[in-house]
Amino acid sequence: EEELRALISEHRETRKQLGGLSHTVGYVLEDRAYKGLPELLKKDFGIEIIEPLRRDKFKLNGKRIEVNIIGKGIKEGKEVWIIGEAKTQLKKKDVDTFLRKREVFEKLFPGEKIYLLVTYMDVSDAKEYAEKKKVKVYYSYQFPLA
């Protein structure tokens, strides 16, 4: 019985450590995106970044909303919000989850928006699915390493 309790405790600790590692991998992807996206957004959309991309938290109706990628740019003389999320392995369900947040984003960030997702890889044609829904997908290999 003691060995079983010890094993359960060790298992909890292992899961905690793996969770921390998973967060770290996600943050690295976001950090690379902050550096690489300005050039890609300029090339793909003609957007000049005026408010640096970052991760941030916002409050709406007493709820805390975390946004992985948020910033502002200028496109054809008008301000535009850049709003995105990072997923290590992008799946169609991640795209749907992100799209459900659009209503919240509309309230928090009035005006024109560019929605994007960044990932190491996609599965099950998630990129094509996202882009049909007007969400641009970028891959980690498009961003500089440093």
**pTM given for the model:** 0.83
Does the pLDDT of residue 127 top 70, yes or no? yes
User: Bridge-partner residues for 138, per DSSP?
Assistant: 118
Identify the weakest region by mean pLDDT among 19-28, 37-46, 81-90: 19-28
pLDDT tens per residue across span 43-98: 999 999 999 999 999 998 899 999 999 999 999 999 999 999 999 999 999 999 99
Q: What is the pLDDT of residue 22?
A: 59
The side-by-side arrangement of strands in the sheet containing 136-139 is 47-60, 63-75, 78-90, 112-122, 136-139
Of 80, 79, 118, nearest in space to 98 by CA: 118
pLDDT exceeding 70 applies to what percent of the chain? Answer: 91
Residue 23 above 60 pLDDT?
no
pLDDT of 5 above 90:
no
Strands 136-139 and 112-122 come out as parallel
Task: Output the 3-class SS for the chain.
Answer: CHHHHHHHHHHHHHHHHHHHHHHHHHHHHHHHHHHHHHHHHHHHHCEEEEEEEEEEEEEECCEEEEEEEEEEEEECCEEEEEEEEEEEEECHHHHHHHHHCHHHHHHHCCCEEEEEEEEEEECCCHHHHHHHCCCEEEEHHHCCCC
pLDDT at 14: 67
Q: How many Å apart are CA 55 and CA 66, to the nearest integer? A: 8
Is the predicted pLDDT of residue 3 greater than 90, yes or no? no
Q: Is the pLDDT of residue 19 over 70?
A: no
**Structure token digits, residue 19:** 């969770």
Mean pLDDT for the chain overall:
90
Note the pLDDT of residue 7. Answer: 82
Q: State residue 13's pLDDT score.
A: 74
